[in-house]
Amino acid sequence: MDTILTAIYMALICLAFTADDKTETTRVKTPSGPINGFKTQNKNTGMNLHEFRGIPFGKPPVGPLRFKKPEPVDKWTDVLDATEYGAGCPQTVYIPDLAPRKMSEDCLFLNVYVPGSLDVVGNYPLCQYDGGWIATQGNVIVITISYRVDILGFFTLDHPAALGNYGLWDQKLALQWVHDNIASFGGNPDSVTLFGESAGGLSASFQSLIPSNQGLVHRIIAQSGVVNRMSIMTKKLINDRTIELAQKTSCPINDMYKFVNCLRDKDYSELLEATNIGSFMAQDRIESYQLPYFAVVDGELFHDHPISSLDDKSTEVAQFFKSLDFITGYTSNEGLVLYFMILPKMQEIFEFNVTEGIPVKFICEGMVAPFVELFYKNDTDIKQKMCSYYTTESSKDEQSMRANHLLGDIIFNHPAMEMLSYHTRLGGKSYQYLFSKEKHIEWGSASFPEWATGSSHGEDLQFMFDMHTIMPSLNETKFTPEEKDLSDKIIQYWTSFAKTGEPYGGVGAIQWKPFDLTSRYYLDLDTPLALRSNLSPKMVEFWSKEIPPIGLEHVEKVKRHDEL
């Protein structure tokens, strides 16, 4: 679900700026070819904004190019009309408010937002993410990228017929296009910050561990998502997925090349339906800690699990990661999304109503047990320790919150701590934050129960982008003056980091100190802001001392594939 949400967000958040009138045409000449965009004006700041929408950076990955690395788009001589957004990449839509206006496999486009004037080369720093809002609020060039997701972006057979990681290759190709062309927009190709949230954060984190990105990206902001020990598909999982997909599509697997060609003949909607995350979810327990398809060790982008590469300071991966300035963090209760994952059948089997609370039995048998079975070979000692740590008899509300923290710690919180520690030990400059301002977003018709407190996964985004324009459900929860000030401060921290590598919140703002392994400073993004130290010490100690790291021996090192 995370990958789906972030990809939609990356494709659609720019809709928040379509309300401003297209006042006049503007043109740039780039190495790829001439491009026509248009000029608008931000109604809040009064600053001019030049928008260039739907610029292709890769050939349409259709037909024989489906399930292959993207190919660079050919240069053009006629003027490219970049006044309308390109299609979003095919994906399963869970939130109607964020659904793309159109979807197509011809989706490798990017959008460029340039604040101020195009007449003067501003040498602006770049943010690889979304929209005119941050561009004008923070006075930086912002670029949005549309890339393949789900099965179209990450299908793999661990075989030359389908090596996988196509979505990551799309991102990498977009980075190269930006490097080659952004100076024509007044941008500085030597000052590129890549940032994203959820699977977008995971993607940014992956790109920070690819040494061939040297010179293409210089800073990383990974919000609520980083590379972790569960981020790479195992051979067993690939094999299981292959068998399931063959059964659902009636494509034979006796010959891998014929199998892939059969899948290429299928409509993308059939492939999305066959690999919908819901079809892989158990009805009686939480075991979907991973998406149907995600990154693999392919012998080209990754020769080993990226985490293994960080254990040796001399590797190219470790040295490149060290060279990048790095911000990461998460919300105060990432695991609140658990509320939407507990299906009716689970409640029936364990005899509870999730709106009233989550019982101990479900945590131990419906959450801990499948996790330990999947990643720790059903170790009974680990199972007992986790069950004890994440349960309490104090109150049903507290017990329910422990269940949320279990999910959040596994997927978001502990992995962020681990990556911060790696980056700091390597000698890199790191910053940590916690977004703890509680302002719930109602996704569609669903809302959180009374026992749910804290800021859930994705709720920080409303403080970074003008989301009220594209999400009608937010119209009843507009910002108070204090919340608007927090939003302004966050944008200031993020964009100053993009400009200088140091997050500065403006005059009178809290100084955000770098993370270190002693004080472990972090910025608490709340009203009011506060600099604190040693975030979640009990959780850090539990996962570092009581629970051994998830083993990486299941991920084999891979030499470069030559049979493409």
Residues annotated as catalytic (active site), given as ranges: 198
Burial of 185 (0-12, 13-18, 19+ CB in 10 A): buried
> Is 114 within 8 Å of 99 (Cβ atoms)?
no
The CA distance from 223 to 70, in Å, is: 26
Whole-angstrom CA distances from 95 to 4, 288, 472 are 10, 19, 12
Query: How big is the CA angle at 104 (ends 172 and 462), to the nearest 5 degrees?
Result: 70
- Return the HEC string of 344-409: HHHHHHHCCCCCCCCCHHHHHHHHHHHHHHHHCCCCHHHHHHHHHHCCCCCCHHHHHHHHHHHHHH
CA 216 to chain centre: 19
The CA distance from 539 to 404, in Å, is: 13
> Is 417 within 8 Å of 509 (Cβ atoms)?
no
User: Of 102, 108, 99, 115, whose CA–CA distance to 44 is shortest?
Assistant: 115
34 cis-preceded (ω within 30 degrees of 0): no
Whole-angstrom CA distances from 72 to 30, 110, 161, 352, 560 are 15, 13, 21, 53, 21
Which H or E run includes 153? helix 150-154
